[in-house]
Structure 1
Amino acid sequence: MSLFHAVLWLDHHEAKLLQFDAEHVEAERIKSHSHHTKQRASAVRTEHEFFGEVCDAMAGIAEVLVTGSKTAQADFRHYLEKHRPALVKQVVGYEAVDHPSDKQLVALARQYFLKHDRMNGVPTPM
């Protein structure tokens, strides 16, 4: 099922992508495949692979709100801008949050998108 809005919560080890509409929520979890080595390049490569998987999961979603720690968001934003510039326009905002439940994430995103859509002149179904 491909839904119009989604909220992405991520840190450097896992991500949750929740697509939703008024009645449905579809959740996908993505875990980092950490390779414990002493080489920094290996850690960067692993992070890029992880962010690449997150980007693949975002394919086809029109609007995504990215949440999580500020550091994870900044690293993800940098990855998007450098490696996946076509996806940058799908991200409508960034919000720092700790570790909310799926229900809390969807509630936050619904409020965000209601405000976002109104500011852009998009009628919101009630």
Structure 2
Amino acid sequence: MPLFHAVVLTDHQSALVVQFDAEQVLSQRIQAHKHQTAQRNSAVRTEHEFFGEVCNALDGIQQVLVTGSHTATADFKHYAEKHRPLLIPQIVGYEVVDHPTENQLVAMARKAFDKHNLMAGVPTAG
């Protein structure tokens, strides 16, 4: 069962999805698939498959902070806006970071959610 909050650390090769609440932290690593094709734009297809898997991992999570390099977060945002528009309201923000630890990610996300007054409540049916 997904938790209410998550932070994603992504680049173009892997993503770390960290779901958390007050008592627990669950981590999942997603790797991009490396497969060679003779088709034109295969790198774009591979990136789309990867970002699609990251979006799938966020299914059911109400509040998400996306972090990573400027390029990776911008590419993820573009992918989500174009291909996964239902995910957009769940994304609280995008932060450019450089190799934080898992604990630093969770602390950063808690701070971002607190800033937006999103840590106080519990999910509501709607």
Q: What is the TM-score of this pair, normalised by structure 1?
A: 0.89
Deviation at 1:124, TM superposition (A): 2.1
Structure ranking higher in helix proportion: 1
- What are the within-5 Å matches in structure 2 for residues 16-95 of structure 1? 16-36=16-36, 40-95=40-95
- Matched with 1:8 is 8
Whole-angstrom CA distance in 2 between matches of 1:82 and 1:48: 11
Structure-2 change in CA distance of 1:69 and 1:40 (3 Å): farther
Deviation at 1:39, TM superposition (A): 5.5
SS at match of 1:12: coil
Identity %: 63
Whole-angstrom CA distance in 1 between matches of 2:82 and 2:68: 20
1:124 and 2:120 aligned? yes
Q: Deviations over 1:71-103 (max 9, x none)?
A: 001101110111111111111100000111111
* 14-23 vs 33-42, which moves further: 33-42
| RMSD of aligned residue pairs (Cα, Å) | 1.7
Structure-2 change in CA distance of 1:123 and 1:29 (3 Å): closer
Letter in 1 for 2:55: C
Letter in 2 for 1:64: V
Q: What is the TM-score of this pair, normalised by structure 2?
A: 0.89
1:102 and 2:98 aligned? no
Question: Structure 2: 5+ residue runs without aligned partners?
Answer: 122-126
Aligned residues: 121
Asked if 1 retains the 8 angstrom alpha-carbon contact of 2:110 and 2:119, the reply is no
